[in-house]
Structure 1
Amino acid sequence: MNDTLRVRVSRIERLADGIKRFTLRRSDGLDLPAFDSGSHVVLHLDGGRFRNAYSLTSPLDDLGGYQICVRKEEASRGGSRFMHEDVREDDELHIGAPANLFGLHPGEGKHVLVAGGIGITPFLTHIQALARRDAAFELHYCFRNRAGAAALDTLPALVGPERLRLYESDAGTLLDVAALVAGQPADAHIYVCGPQPLNDAVVAAAKAAGWDAGRIHFEQFRNDVDATGGAFDVTLKKSGKTLHVGPDDTLLRVIEKAGIQVDCMCREGICGSCETVILDGVADHRDSYLSDDEKAAQKTMMLCVSRCKGSHLVLDL
């Protein structure tokens, strides 16, 4: 973990049903690195067994501590469960440097923010940045019920009631995505972070309305795909190693356990940072990053969730 920072958990707070906020401060007492709105950090948990990415939600100008919000996922692969059940105040963790895959467009124009559930987290810093720019924006926040929605107590003051719209599905209040898109000016940019159905609906509505792809921004915080499957072997050409991937392990974890560093920001088959060239073999693509044509070409694959259709892969690693 030479490329990580040691941090101490200074505070743990319950924000909503199944959601906790963790405040992290550097163990050496120094300031943490600066970050842009929409950034996240990767937490290395349980001795590196889990690596999970979480959006930074703290004030942009407060580098004395980072804040992250963690929802305990029912189908957790271990990371969110570990954070909720095993991490205590004063525990020490390792984190990577801030990275940003969901930044704000720098130009003028209106910014339309659409959040679903825990997907509200990257917008907590976007709101700060947009307010500093005196930019036109509005926030549409969709959630199942108020008990499980984070930040409801602070959003009205942060955003302003005239720019905040709330949609509680259990109460029958739903977002009309097509109407939202249709009512925007020609220079608007739309941003969505939430469950895949919400992301897909917003992106599809914007494209159907003729929006240029450069005005559509999305971050998917979870890829609901099973990364387990049949066992296989992988040969890493550059490293000269052949490794075995068991049915309950992932290709990325096996490679990391062998001491080979691979960039992977999301670990969910979403961001594309672990894309690797296939030299031989057929990949079982399970990511949501590559297009159907790219998957069919079998030239690259995402190590974090994808597997092998046969018994052996050769990768350019």
Structure 2
Amino acid sequence: MNQQKISVKVSRVQQLSPTIKMFEFIAQDAQLSTFSAGSHVTVHMDEAGIRRAYSLISDPKRPQHYRISVLRDEQSKGGSAYMHDSVVEGDELHLSPAENFFPLVQDVTCKHILVAGGIGITPFMSYLYELEAAGMDFELHYCFRDGANAAYVNELRERVGQRLHVYDNALDQHLSIEQLVKGQDKNSHLYVCGPQPLINAVIEQGNAHLGEKQVHFENFGAVASTGSSFEVHFQRSGFSLEIGEGTSILQAIEDDKRIAIECLCRNGVCGTCETSILEGEADHRDHYLDDDERAAQKTMMLCVSRAKGQRLVLDI
């Protein structure tokens, strides 16, 4: 992760839905930089000792301000709750410079199909600027559980028009991913961001009908979470799990269902699942901690990192 920090002021906060807020930042000391569509910034919530990555939703070529949208997650370990409850207009925060692990393919000769689930709409908000500026052919498929809690629906209808397809599950509207993908030209590029089951389904159908090179998802680097099995003891929860050779700690926790863990990227970049190590050493495989933080062995990312030895004790 880029360790440089940008000092910013919160210039606007807007409640987009009962569970989603938009935050706008302006630079304090220097001008913000342009970025590419799909980029994210890491917000440093220094008072709470928290860092979280959020997709930029503003115009990449007009960096007078940066904007992000934050979903309040009731399972939050602090990041989204802090943003919603503690951050107000006029506050000063720090951001890491924009980075992009989910770029738009710059190909004007083919169609671009965007599939968003819930708050996964956010990276596509910046995509639209580049798609429209280059005159690319595209369509956006936006799925959500309940229209009352969805963001940007009306704005997208006005902006995208007939290229927007909305699926409100509360109204029994559901996207058939297989039908969508089967009907596309083989040269089409397919993108997805949202809940993991949606990502998995789009990848499966996209790989089968378009090929792996045409399918894009918010993969922050292919970090394998395979290796020797080991035991993890969750100190505060009072139980242990055996982590198999092909399973991550996060996957084991989700399969067990006794603990709820927030994780945005699932690939060791966003820092959402950062957890304190009480005993043992981690085999760090993330892109979030710097070399000194890894050597200190104080925290680890549950989505990708493993144990160096046979046992870890974590502060969960």
Same fold (TM over 0.5): yes
Cα deviation for residue 106 of structure 1 reads: 1.8
Q: Find the aligned partners of 1:271 and 1:126 in 2 and give their Cα distance.
A: 23
For structure 2, the residue ranges without an aligned partner over 5 or more in a row are 221-231, 240-262, 272-279, 287-298
Residue pair 1:57, 1:122 contacting (<8 A) in 2 also? yes
The letter of the residue matching 1:173 is Q
Residue pair 1:12, 1:23 contacting (<8 A) in 2 also? yes
What are the Cα deviations for residues 109-159 of structure 1, in whole angstroms up to 9, with x where unaligned? 100000000000000011111011101100000001111101012101221
The letter of the residue matching 2:4 is D
Cα deviation for residue 304 of structure 1 reads: 1.7
**Match of residue 304 from structure 1:** 301
SS at match of 2:154: coil
Residue pair 2:31, 2:64 contacting (<8 A) in 1 also? yes
Cα deviation for residue 90 of structure 1 reads: 0.6
User: Identity, % of aligned pairs?
Assistant: 41
Residue pair 2:9, 2:25 contacting (<8 A) in 1 also? yes
Cα deviation for residue 273 of structure 1 reads: 9.0
- Is the aligned partner of 1:129 residue 2:126? no
Q: Find the aligned partners of 1:31 and 1:177 in 2 and give their Cα distance.
A: 42
**Match of residue 38 from structure 1:** 38
Residue pair 1:267, 1:304 contacting (<8 A) in 2 also? no
**Match of residue 246 from structure 2:** none
Would you say how many aligned residue pairs link Structure 1 and Structure 2? 252
The letter of the residue matching 1:192 is V
Residue pair 2:102, 2:219 contacting (<8 A) in 1 also? no
Residue pair 1:73, 1:81 contacting (<8 A) in 2 also? yes
The letter of the residue matching 1:113 is L
**Match of residue 24 from structure 2:** 23
The aligned runs of 1:1-317 (5 Å cut-off) are 3-28=4-29, 30-47=30-47, 49-107=49-107, 108-160=109-161, 162-209=162-209, 211-219=210-218, 230=233, 268-271=265-268, 303-305=300-302, 306-308=305-307, 310-311=310-311
Residue pair 1:193, 1:220 contacting (<8 A) in 2 also? no
Residue pair 2:32, 2:63 contacting (<8 A) in 1 also? yes
The letter of the residue matching 1:214 is K
Q: Find the aligned partners of 2:202 and 2:312 in 1 and give their Cα distance.
A: 39
Calculate the TM-score normalised by the size of structure 2: 0.72
Residue pair 2:51, 2:79 contacting (<8 A) in 1 also? yes
Residue pair 1:196, 1:220 contacting (<8 A) in 2 also? no
What are the Cα deviations for residues 169-222 of structure 1, in whole angstroms up to 9, with x where unaligned? 01100000000000001210000000001000111111222x22110001279x
The letter of the residue matching 2:301 is C
Q: Aligned pair in 2 of structure 1 residues 20, 45: CA closer, same or farther (>3 Å)?
A: same
Q: Find the aligned partners of 1:169 and 1:184 in 2 and give their Cα distance.
A: 24
For structure 1, the residue ranges without an aligned partner over 5 or more in a row are 222-228, 233-246, 248-265, 275-280, 288-301
Residue pair 2:233, 2:312 contacting (<8 A) in 1 also? no
Q: Find the aligned partners of 1:35 and 1:170 in 2 and give their Cα distance.
A: 36
The letter of the residue matching 1:215 is Q
Cα deviation for residue 6 of structure 1 reads: 0.6
What are the Cα deviations for residues 247-269 of structure 1, in whole angstroms up to 9, with x where unaligned? 9xxxxxxxxxxxxxxxxxx8754
Q: Find the aligned partners of 1:176 and 1:22 in 2 and give their Cα distance.
A: 33
What are the Cα deviations for residues 295-317 of structure 1, in whole angstroms up to 9, with x where unaligned? xxxxxxx942235363479xxxx
